[in-house]
Structure 1
Amino acid sequence: MSPNCRVGPSILNADLSQIQAECHRLLDAGADFLHLDVMDGHFVPNLTFGHPLVKCLRSKVSDTFFDMHMMVAHPEQWVEWNPWLMLDLGAFNAMNAQSFMAGMLPKVEALRRQYPELTIEVDGGISLANIEAVAEPGANMIVAGTAIVAAADPRSVISSIKSSVGHVFTKVQVER
């Protein structure tokens, strides 16, 4: 199991009137990637980012990995399906109505057992209070919105998340 932890804030929680500056602020604070929750108002009732905004943001924040959570009725309008696509990321949304859902963690553990080297992302209600519980079953790509974006010191939160995940992964490897 790889202790390499990557942390990305959900920019949906940022000041969207200053989205470019917010993205750079979060990246300067140590974010490894940016998470975009794309909602079309059909698949889910909320409406967030569309093609034009993502394209514009890509041109302004060009060297950053965008992790997109696609909650859209017609994903084929966003991506071209490639039948030879290899699985290199397992993602779990662990939130319902803005609350962390610990019931998703056994699924993370099962995936980790089957694919020890896989990057496993968990998104939804992640905070410093529950990061170790998220890391213990094997999550190593963490999406945290409010915990990072609203923090007085986002750098400290990102650093603490990475440290906690690294500590848990080291402990798990020693126990095995």
Structure 2
Amino acid sequence: MMKGQEYTYNTILGLVMVLDLSSNKFSGSIPIELMALQALQSLNISKNQLTGVIPKNIGDMKFLESFDVSSNHLSGELPMSLSGLTFLSSFNVSFNNLTGRSTSSTQLQSFNESSFFGNKLCGVPLTQICGEIEHNKDQQEGDTSHVVDFGLTICVLLGFFVGFWSIVIPLNVGTIWISLSKLRYMLRC
């Protein structure tokens, strides 16, 4: 089968072993029907515009050796069923919008960190520790509130300063003016 050729099938073929649908500008979610390809060994749907989540029943594809959904717009967490893919030797979910923990599967932990780049994932094999993501998020929100508090304090102090001196200066100038007038009057006499 050559890439770029078009074929029409009336049913999902149970014996398909390799499916490469990369770089086709497909959009929408990953079709759940793909999970019915039980004999599939390689699934490449990278470099499309896919959204939604990785199907929870991805683990049903027991013979999957290669899984590439990189460079899409997938979101959510990695499904726990990925840990059931014991034949997986190539894995790439990089450059999506995935969040949360990497699964505790020793299979997924064996992959290079580059397989996960461009996501907000944490845990082994990634250098990002899971507690740090929540802590950093809380810290960033806290930092913003300190900026607002500081800005509000500056505005209140500035308002007080301007208001205070707009009253004190005219009173002092008026008092000085009256004193000078009295002094001139006395000097004339």
TM normalised by structure 1 equals 0.25
Question: Relative contact order: is structure 1 or structure 2 higher (C-alpha 8 Å, sep ≥ 6)?
Answer: 1
Structure index of larger Rg: 2
TM normalised by structure 2 equals 0.24
